[in-house]
Amino acid sequence: MAETERIPVDFHQAMFRVAAVAFVTAATVNVGSSFIGAPQFDFRAIVIIGILSYVGAVVSWFFPWHRLPVERFLVVIVLPGLALLGFMLMYTGGVHSHILPLFVAPAVFMAAAYGFRAGAAIAIFTAATATLPLFVNGWDSYYARTVVVLAAATMLCAYIPAQVRRALLSEYETRRRQQEESYVATIGALAAVLDAKDRYTEAHSRETAELAVKVGKRLGLQGEQRRLLEYGALLHDIGKIGIPGYILQKPGPLTPEEFAVMREHPVIGERILASVPFLAPLGPIVRAEHERWNGTGYPDGLKGEEIPIEARIIHACDAFHAMASDRAYRKALPPEEIMAEFRKESAQQFDPRVVEVMLQVIEEEPPHVTAEAQASGQPAPDPLVTGSRSWAQHMQSIETLGQHLARATTIEDVCNRIGETISAMLPHDQCRVLLMSEDRTRLEIVYLNGTGPAEYRDVTSQNAAVAVGEGIAGWVAESRRGVVIGDTEHHPKAAHVTGTDVIDESMLAVPVVFEDELLGVIVVLKLGLNQYNLDQLRLLTILANQAAVSIANARLIDRLASAATIDPLTGLMNRAAFEEAINKQLLRPQSWGTLLMLDVDNLRETNDAYGHRAGDAVLKRIGRAIRTSIRSDDLGSRWIGDNFAILAPGIDAAQAELLAKRIETAVQSDRISIRWGAAEYRGDALTAQDLVAAALRSTARTSDGLAA
């Protein structure tokens, strides 16, 4: 029974709907077949049995079985079903009954639901039930031989679904383990991003998580809830990615204005996590981590049991670690003072039950605090800035930018906000933000502002892009050093923009670097010679550093979102994303088209003969063939294993067959072959499952092979 509990709820629901179909089928066949070649039968008994069967079918179909303990399924479904079969057997002729083959069904059902042992046990019960007519009607050699054959066939029929079930369990466990590994890798990546901005925060989160897990264990948190607690504690400060560095690393208490910015980090953290589907459950925990038991916390003013238990635990452990760590403005507090503070704030700031358990844990297993002192770096002295804006005004603008960047989740949005801020803070005639291309050979324009002056009207995103090492921007990317250029056209590294006039022009250019990785270059231009100074270069560098963190964060979110929808081996959509896309397509008014399913044959033989790398190479090649053969509006997916699916709006089954042959031609080999099937949809009230099932039913083997 333990294995069954690991199977999703949908599996149990499906099994009992199968049982409902079996009830209906048995009753219908029994009633219908009783009129064939049987001059004598008990009509009243048959009607009663039919009614009972239909009642059993309704109960099996609609009752919420997944809410019951697994052990009850055997009692409430299988044994009554066997009793019903016994009555049907006796009232349809006993040793002359025609319904004996139906006795296979209970054993097959049990084997599929609970494994071979359960199926074999029910097979023995069914065989015993089937022998009842020999005791009631007397010995019949032909019937006895039939019962023996039935028993053997039932055992065989029970073994087959039991093996299928075992394979499903193995696949489910593998996928669960892979998902868990994906969780851990994602959390590690997010923690690394935060670590790059504030090393204290990384160590603080890790040690807070260790203490929180111990407290949660004693409070009875189990399984998924304890994992959410651990991951939430690791990422409870992830929102600090969106907090400006001059606030995050300030060596001393924050001003009211700075603290108002800092209070936004739980909301920022929730937004970051909400953008990644499998991290979304952590969002409410991270958001509520600074809520207080008496309702005076932030950001929502929750109180008491309104605060998630995970957030209450993290809040207490977070506060302990903060008090036990050195800060720039004070040393770590002694243990006695920390204990006294928690007892004082119990039922005020903290959940009293959490405080009681946490203090027990700390007394029995004193945690080792290793985090470096927070805000160990000192801010640079304010330089003298000429012009109408003071550095205080600049810092206010940078603070506002940090708040805006916290709400930006795409690279385009980040670059636009950075460009707009630069345009507002620095004198300029044109501002460009260039990002590194995927092949890391070119810098491409993603933000271009200032094409109004006649000298810049012919500058476009296409002709202003440069190769790494080409022109001043390419040189800055290569050297990773910011520069002030008083005369861009006559600089040794200058590269004139094609199609524009030679002009007197000054430039600021700084690299955008995150964790020693070059992300891009920011360029600010102004007509005239020697228009910029080192103070303005320093200001642009600050903005570029802030842009680097936000761009890296946006790229991480993009990669995580892509990982949630793309099959990593073939580059096609994964099954979950494809099903969602099908359902959206079917909901569109007057939508029509075809779903094409491809099934690769002989892949197992390839794996056995050449190894799984060869099999993976086959799947990759088929993925490339699908991507190059479908239209831009078509959707390709790796459905499961060696099955592929293509949703092609606006074409019929005949055209879909041509598409399958085109994919076959694109691969070109005789060692691997495919079968394909197609199902059309024309505004029908179908679901993705209905459409896929229809396509699979129509699958037919092609005459030619598909390449390995």
In a domain, 10, yes or no: yes
Domain at 318, CATH number:
1.10.3210.10
Kindly indicate the confidence band of residue 424, based on its pLDDT and cuts at 50, 70 and 90.
confident
Angstrom distances, CA of residue 630 to CA of 651, 652, 664: 12, 14, 12
Contact indicator for 145, 54 with CB cutoff of 8 Å = no
Q: What's 250's DSSP letter?
A: -
Instruction: For residues 546 and 583, state if they share a domain.
Output: no
Q: Could you give the CA distance from residue 72 to residue 121 in angstroms, rounded to a whole number?
A: 16
Domain at 635, CATH number:
3.30.70.270
Last residue of a domain, one of 364, 388, 405: 364
Instruction: For residues 336 and 259, state if they share a domain.
Output: yes
In a domain, 267, yes or no: yes
Q: Could you give the CA distance from residue 563 to residue 542 in angstroms, rounded to a whole number?
A: 32
**Host H or E run for residue 272:** helix 265-274
Q: Could you give the CA distance from residue 105 to residue 82 in angstroms, rounded to a whole number?
A: 10
Instruction: For residues 311 and 354, state if they share a domain.
Output: yes
Last residue of a domain, one of 344, 364, 384: 364
Instruction: For residues 548 and 579, state if they share a domain.
Output: no
pLDDT in tens, 142-193: 778 877 877 777 787 777 777 777 787 788 777 777 776 666 666 666 665 6
If phi over 0 gives left and psi between -120 and 50 gives alpha, with beta otherwise, what is residue 304? left
Kindly indicate the confidence band of residue 138, based on its pLDDT and cuts at 50, 70 and 90.
confident
pLDDT in tens, 51-86: 766 776 777 677 665 565 554 555 556 777 777 777
Instruction: For residues 480 and 582, state if they share a domain.
Output: no
Q: Please tell me the number of Cα atoms within 13 Å of 194 on its side-chain side.
A: 24
Mean pLDDT of 238-248: 75
With H, G, I as helix, E, B as strand and everything else as coil, classify residue 62: helix
224-231 long-range contacts, CB within 8 A, separation 24+: 225/309, 225/310, 227/183, 228/281, 228/282, 228/285, 228/310, 229/285, 229/310, 229/313, 229/314, 231/183, 231/187, 231/279, 231/282
Kindly indicate the confidence band of residue 379, based on its pLDDT and cuts at 50, 70 and 90.
very low
Residue of higher predicted confidence among 278 and 591: 591
Instruction: For residues 456 and 604, state if they share a domain.
Output: no
End-to-end CA gap in the chain:
42
In a domain, 398, yes or no: no
How far, in whole angstroms, is CA 388 from its chain's centroid? Answer: 49
In a domain, 483, yes or no: yes
Instruction: For residues 94 and 127, state if they share a domain.
Output: yes
Its pTM surpasses 0.85:
no
**How many domains, in total, are found in the chain?**
4
In a domain, 339, yes or no: yes
In a domain, 35, yes or no: yes
Instruction: For residues 533 and 587, state if they share a domain.
Output: no
Q: Is 582 exposed, middle or buried (0-12, 13-18, 19+ CB in 10 A)?
A: buried
> Domain range holding 349?
198-364
Residues 6+ apart with CB under 8 A from 314: 208, 212, 229, 232, 233, 236, 285, 289
Q: Could you give the CA distance from residue 465 to residue 463 in angstroms, rounded to a whole number?
A: 6
pLDDT (0 to 100) of residue 311: 94
Residue of higher predicted confidence among 494 and 18: 494
Instruction: For residues 529 and 431, state if they share a domain.
Output: yes
Q: Which residue has the tokens 């009992």?
A: 16
Kindly indicate the confidence band of residue 288, based on its pLDDT and cuts at 50, 70 and 90.
very high
Instruction: For residues 161 and 98, state if they share a domain.
Output: yes
Residue 38 scores a pLDDT above 60: no
pLDDT (0 to 100) of residue 561: 65
Q: Is 438 exposed, middle or buried (0-12, 13-18, 19+ CB in 10 A)?
A: exposed
Q: Could you give the CA distance from residue 525 to residue 559 in angstroms, rounded to a whole number?
A: 33
In a domain, 388, yes or no: no
Domain at 511, CATH number:
3.30.450.40
Residue 700 scores a pLDDT above 70: no
Which has the minimum average pLDDT: 108-122, 216-230, 574-588? 108-122
3-state DSSP of 193-211? HHHHHCHHHHHHHHHHHHH
Instruction: For residues 161 and 31, state if they share a domain.
Output: yes
Contact indicator for 520, 551 with CB cutoff of 8 Å = yes
Q: Which residue has the tokens 């842009």?
A: 547
Locate 433 and state its tokens: 């933000």
Instruction: For residues 163 and 205, state if they share a domain.
Output: no
In a domain, 420, yes or no: no
pLDDT in tens, 87-99: 777 766 777 776 6
